[in-house]
Amino acid sequence: MKGVILLILAIILIMIAVVVGFRNADVVTINYLIAQIEMRISTFMVVCLIIGFFLGFTTILTKYLALKVRFASMKRRLEKLAINKTP
C-alpha cells in the first residue's frame, strides 16, 4: 500500500514538473563571472534545484559524519573510564 501511494505521489509530482516546464519555456541569458549562457527558464530552475540539493546533502552528510566520529570517540572514552573504575 505504501508503495502505491509513493508511486501515485511521484506521478503527480512529475506531471506538475512537466506543466511548469512547459509554462516556462522562455529563453534567458545567464551571466556569470567569465561568460554567459542562454537557456530555458525551466532548465535553469532544474539546474539550480540539483545544485542546491547536492550542496545541502553534502553539508548534512559532513555534519552527520562529524557527529558519528565524535560519538565513537566519546564511547571509547566512556568504556576506558568504565574499565579503569572497576576493581
Question: Tens digits of per-residue pLDDT, 14-70?
Answer: 888 888 888 888 999 999 889 999 999 888 888 898 999 999 999 999 999 999 999
pTM given for the model = 0.67
SS3 string, the chain, reads: CHHHHHHHHHHHHHHHHHHHHHHCCCEEEEECCCCEEEEEHHHHHHHHHHHHHHHHHHHHHHHHHHHHHHHHHHHHHHHHHHHHHCC
